[in-house]
Structure 1
């Protein structure tokens, strides 16, 4: 059984998690990567300003989307897999029809490429709301209606730029993190600040929420991964292991795996419940900027500054 495997096989063993595809096509570093809800498509956003759609199982390039004039910093896919949202270094949020690859709408996020190192975006589980970072200088979060592109609200509170978002499976909590070393939890319905999680000693670069909505995981500049109780805000566990900043964290849809990607070019896979390290995946020659696990929890995809995307077989 999977749970038995995870509990007993806790020593690094790269042989059982192998790279099955290395995807090349971006002409600059790859900033973000996602897998469609049906598990068929892999979507990547690059510093070259393009979005690329790939077949997850074969690594075949399906199409490239162009429209951003600077790097694509963040991407999100709607639950029905019909809409792709991208945040770019050109200060725009773009909405695309995922099946056709056509641009539907462009939203102006409100800042220029001069302060657009990060441009996270997220879509609520009901597919109605898009969250985007507004500006490094204004340090705000903008909420948009996905169907109309209407600006609904602006959330204020962070004292530094926002690096990433996560939304709870029930759609009630929006989590945001940033260079101010905090994670802020917002009530997405009332737009009120619910809690501030403090514990990292540097900027926080990535957060993820478990499928059961109980756990939040964060990784950041201090090389630490922190595991929190989402509802109480209590710090449950701190994990170390990366030798430089933790740029990306992801939780598998079955709630078993925790994957992290670092500036040290490594990917580390752990058992979420215990924090025990299971595997170290090597092969990238640059910073790992994003990691994602397939809906069936069988594959992991990683995006790197080395201009490649790697697809790893986690289990058979």
Structure 2
């Protein structure tokens, strides 16, 4: 016999919406800060804006002449920036879909773009070995940050916007002063190309992911290495800080996700279950859930504290390369080696626990 206790358990149910319209692979996806809009970049040379609630197409942003690599919303949501293999950054009005500005000056593919927290500055990273800072309003070039010896794959602003970090094929991370454009520190120690770099939300730490099977944590103020996150048996494809800065998650081609102390770099948990390489990892806004995307055609959701598997979001049609949470944590967006974006909308079902 089963009886109902007074305790409740929370069960998540997911409703899937598929965003269709691109004619080539989707390369990057982002939510607007209010979570109402999704932007997708594609190898079909376009950016598309979608209503996150209904899944309907709002606008198609056309103008790039080659594959679009990355896309990002401005903090106020009024502008979208996109980067392309056509060596440009484009700024678009999210309401009208019209092109505001084309930022020209890079001499090779532009891999990454980011807005400063106040939305006044845009930073772009390129295979031409440079990072460029642009005025987001006028589109004018503010500064070119030179010093990397090979292409720059990733760029990010510190939470306060005073520092820019860049990750490069030359195996280094560089920290730059936004106001002067001068180099603050070069973080050396990786033995393979550095694929991505992120700041902790509190701005004290930088994490970098690398093909040398490690991630590294660095002290922003001193530039010194805090810890090398060693334990993966293949390349680290993605790193993410929890919003509370307490945990760093690393995804790897070795089919695992590892959770590390955000300030110490000590291993907390290894999340196993994927049967193919894991390419992307992301935290929910409340820091309680980790999402991982894999070539095994699934997104897995994990409890960040216990490391236990919560849910499996299965994608029968393609490998999954990217996964992100909406700002309210209720929607998960994923994309992979196909032309669509999938939105997984979570709803909580609270039910009384049955006791045998």
TM-score by length of 2: 0.71
Per the alignment, in what secondary structure is the counterpart of residue 292 of structure 1?
A: strand
Alignment pair present for 1:292 and 2:324: yes
Structure 1 segment 135-214 matched on structure 2, within 5 A? 136-137=127-128, 139-214=129-204
Alignment pair present for 1:93 and 2:125: no
Structure 1 segment 186-265 matched on structure 2, within 5 A? 186-233=176-223, 234-238=225-229, 240-241=231-232, 243-244=234-235, 246=237, 248-255=238-245, 258=248
The residue that corresponds to 1:302 in the other structure is: 334
Alignment pair present for 1:276 and 2:275: no
Per the alignment, in what secondary structure is the counterpart of residue 203 of structure 2?
A: coil
Alignment pair present for 1:41 and 2:28: no
Report how far residue 101 of structure 1 moved: 1.5
Residue 198 to residue 38, structure 1, CA distance change in 2 (3 Å): same
Moved over 6 A (4+): 15-19
The residue that corresponds to 1:125 in the other structure is: 117
> 8 Å contact 2:251–2:258 — kept in the other structure?
no
Aligned residues between the structures:
293
- When Rg is computed on C-alpha atoms for both structures, the one with the higher figure is 2
Q: Deviations over 1:174-200 (max 9, x none)?
A: 000110011101111222211111232
Higher helix share: 1
Structure 1 segment 98-117 matched on structure 2, within 5 A? 98-111=94-107, 115-116=108-109
Report how far residue 272 of structure 1 moved: 5.8
The residue that corresponds to 2:49 in the other structure is: 53
Residue 267 to residue 259, structure 1, CA distance change in 2 (3 Å): farther
Per the alignment, in what secondary structure is the counterpart of residue 111 of structure 2?
A: coil
Residue 43 to residue 141, structure 1, CA distance change in 2 (3 Å): same
> 8 Å contact 2:113–2:124 — kept in the other structure?
yes
Please, which runs of 5 or more residues in structure 2 have no aligned partner? 1-10, 272-289, 299-317, 349-356
Report how far residue 20 of structure 1 moved: 4.0
TM-score by length of 1: 0.79
> 8 Å contact 1:43–1:54 — kept in the other structure?
yes
Q: Distance in 1 between matches of 2:246 and 2:347?
A: 12
Report how far residue 169 of structure 1 moved: 1.0
The residue that corresponds to 2:287 in the other structure is: none
Per the alignment, in what secondary structure is the counterpart of residue 276 of structure 1?
A: strand
Q: Distance in 2 between matches of 1:148 and 1:210?
A: 30
Q: Distance in 1 between matches of 2:13 and 2:208?
A: 23
